[in-house]
Structure 1
Amino acid sequence: MRTHPNTTTTVRNLGILAHVDAGKTTVTERILYTTGATHKRGEVHDGTTVTDYDPQERDRGITISAAAVSCTWDGHRVNLIDTPGHVDFSDEVERSLRVLDGAVAVFDAVAGVEPQSESVWRQADHHGVPRIVFVNKMDRVGADLDRAVASVAQRLHVVPLVVQLPIGQEDGFRGTVDLVRMRALLWRAGQDAYETGAVPEDLYEEARSRRRQLEERVAELHPAALEEYCATSALSAATLDAALRDLTRGGEGVVVLCGSAYRNRGIEPLLDAVVSYLPSPADVPPVRGTRDAAVEERPADPSAPFAGLAFKVNATATGRLTCLRVYSGTMRKGDTVLDAGTGRTERIGRILRVQADRHAEVEQAVAGDIVAVVGLKGTRAGSTLCAPGAPLVLEPPKTAAPVVSVAVEAGSSAEAGRLSAALARLVEEDPSLVVRTDPETGQTVLSGMGELHLEVAVEKVRRSHGLRIGVGRPRVAHRETVVRGVSGLVYRHVKQDGGAGQFAHVVLDVEPLGVADAAGDAGGFAFRSAVVGGRVPQEYVRAVEAGCRDALAEGPLGGHPVTGLRVTLTDGATHPKDSSETAFRAAGRFGLREALRAAEMQLLEPVAEVVVTVPDDAVGGVLGDLAARRGRVSGSAARAGSTAVTACVPLAELFGYASRLRSRTQGRGTFTARTTGYAPVPAAPAALLGGALPG
Structure 2
Amino acid sequence: MKISKLRNIGISAHIDSGKTTLSERILFYTGRIHKMEEVHGGGAGATMDHMELEKERGITITSAATSVEWNGYGINLIDTPGHVDFTVEVERSLRVLDGAVLVLCAVGGVQSQSITVDRQMKRYHVPRLAFVNKMDRTGADPYRVTQQLREKLGIDAVMIQLPIGAGEKFEGVIDLIKMKATYFDGKDGEKVRYEDIPADKQAEADEYRHAMLESLSMYSDELMELLLAEEDIDENMIHDVITEAVRGERITPVMMGTAYRNKGVQLLLDAVVRYLPSPLEREIKARAYDNPDERVALVPEPDKPFVGMAFKIVDDPYGQLTFTRIYQGKVEKGATYVNQRTGRKERFSRILRMHSDKREEIDSAGAGDIVAIMGVDCASGDTYASQAKFCTLESMFVPEPVIKVAVSPSQRSDADKLGKALARFRKEDPTFRVMTDEESGETLIAGMGELH
Q: TM-score range by the shorter chain?
A: over 0.9
1:30 equivalent in structure 2 = 25
Letter in 2 for 1:309: M
Q: Compute the RMSD of aligned alpha carbons.
A: 1.3
Map Cα deviations across residues 209-244 of structure 1 (whole Å, 9 max, x no partner): 211111111112323322333444442211111001
Q: Tell me the SS of whatever aligns to 1:221.
A: coil
Q: Is it true that 1:90 corresponds to 2:87 in the alignment?
A: yes
2:276 is matched with which residue: 275, 278, 285? 278
2:306 equivalent in structure 1 = 306
Q: Which has the larger radius of gyration?
A: 1
4+ long deviations beyond 4 Å? none
1:43 equivalent in structure 2 = 38
1:194 equivalent in structure 2 = 192
Q: Which structure 1 residue ranges, 5 or more long, are not aligned?
A: 1-5, 454-695
For residues 38 and 302 of structure 2, what CA distance do their matches in structure 1 show? 38
The answer on whether the counterparts of 2:343 and 2:389 sit within 8 Å (CA) in structure 1 is no
1:133 is matched with which residue: 130, 133, 138? 130
Letter in 2 for 1:16: I
Map Cα deviations across residues 552-581 of structure 1 (whole Å, 9 max, x no partner): xxxxxxxxxxxxxxxxxxxxxxxxxxxxxx
Letter in 1 for 2:29: T
Q: Tell me the SS of whatever aligns to 1:39.
A: coil
Q: Tell me the SS of whatever aligns to 2:96.
A: coil
Letter in 2 for 1:417: D
Between 192-201 and 343-352, the greater mean CA deviation after superposition: 192-201
> Map of 1:16-415 to 2, 5 A cutoff?
16-45=11-40, 46=42, 47-188=44-185, 190=187, 191-293=189-291, 294-376=294-376, 378-388=377-387, 391-415=390-414
Map Cα deviations across residues 74-102 of structure 1 (whole Å, 9 max, x no partner): 11110011111111111111111100000
Map Cα deviations across residues 168-220 of structure 1 (whole Å, 9 max, x no partner): 22111121111101112112362422212221222122212211111111112
Higher RCO (CA 8 Å, separation ≥ 6 residues) = 2
Instruction: Give the number of aligned pairs.
Output: 447
For residues 85 and 38 of structure 1, what CA distance do their matches in structure 2 show? 23
Letter in 1 for 2:384: L
Q: Summarize the Cα distance change of 1:139–1:189 in structure 2 as closer, same or farther, 3 Å threshold.
A: farther
Q: Tell me the SS of whatever aligns to 1:141.
A: coil
Q: How much has 1:312 moved relative to structure 2?
A: 0.4
Q: Tell me the SS of whatever aligns to 1:187.
A: strand
For residues 233 and 85 of structure 1, what CA distance do their matches in structure 2 show? 44
1:11 equivalent in structure 2 = 6
For residues 266 and 224 of structure 2, what CA distance do their matches in structure 1 show? 29
Letter in 2 for 1:410: P
Q: Tell me the SS of whatever aligns to 2:451.
A: helix
Q: How much has 1:291 moved relative to structure 2?
A: 2.5
Letter in 2 for 1:75: G
The answer on whether the counterparts of 2:306 and 2:329 sit within 8 Å (CA) in structure 1 is yes
* TM-score using structure 1 length: 0.63
Letter in 1 for 2:283: P
Map Cα deviations across residues 231-279 of structure 1 (whole Å, 9 max, x no partner): 4444221111100111111111110000000011100000000011100
Letter in 2 for 1:295: R
For residues 242 and 323 of structure 1, what CA distance do their matches in structure 2 show? 33
Letter in 2 for 1:35: T
Q: Tell me the SS of whatever aligns to 1:361.
A: strand
The answer on whether the counterparts of 2:8 and 2:99 sit within 8 Å (CA) in structure 1 is yes
Q: Tell me the SS of whatever aligns to 2:262.
A: coil
For residues 256 and 369 of structure 2, what CA distance do their matches in structure 1 show? 29
Q: Summarize the Cα distance change of 1:122–1:234 in structure 2 as closer, same or farther, 3 Å threshold.
A: farther
The answer on whether the counterparts of 1:177 and 1:199 sit within 8 Å (CA) in structure 2 is yes
For residues 285 and 369 of structure 2, what CA distance do their matches in structure 1 show? 14
For residues 129 and 260 of structure 1, what CA distance do their matches in structure 2 show? 24
Q: Tell me the SS of whatever aligns to 2:191.
A: coil
The answer on whether the counterparts of 2:340 and 2:389 sit within 8 Å (CA) in structure 1 is no
Q: Which structure 2 residue ranges, 5 or more long, are not aligned?
A: none
For residues 80 and 222 of structure 1, what CA distance do their matches in structure 2 show? 31
The answer on whether the counterparts of 1:109 and 1:144 sit within 8 Å (CA) in structure 2 is yes
Letter in 1 for 2:122: D
